[in-house]
Amino acid sequence: MIVVIGIVAAIAIAKFVGVKEAAYIASMKSDLRNFALYEQFYGEDNNGSYFSGNGIAQGFKPTVDITVTATRVPGPPPEWNAIAIHAKTPKKCTIGVVNPPEWTIDCS
């Protein structure tokens, strides 16, 4: 009986680890989508130029334990890309834009 409970517990724990990982990735994707809006609005207000860095000066506030950092690519045409890192997972998500508002998010 104890062995059966142990096996069931091991299966349940493995499932919860996957759920937590998926939640971290969902948070990073959400932050990147929000960050992309900040970049888009900034570009509209600054003649198509984008900002680099974490976006805090532009009013962006990431979710707890997530760091988002952008890199501006002068172009032409001007472009940008950003990476999101969560403190509790080794996975990273990236977003880039070539033709606003088309954003591509990739997590690995």
User: Is the whole model's pTM more than 0.85, yes or no?
Assistant: no
Instruction: Report pLDDT for 77.
Output: 80
Strands 103-107 and 66-73: unpaired
Can you read off the two tokens belonging to residue 28?
């990073």
97 and 36 in contact (C-beta within 8 Å)?
yes
Instruction: Report pLDDT for 64.
Output: 96
Instruction: Report pLDDT for 87.
Output: 97
Q: Does an H or E element contain 20, and which?
A: helix 2-45
Judged against a pLDDT cut of 90, whether residue 86 lies above it is answered with yes
pLDDT digits (tens, 9 = 90+) for 49-59: 889 999 999 99
DSSP state of 47: T
pLDDT digits (tens, 9 = 90+) for 3-30: 777 777 777 776 776 789 999 999 999 9
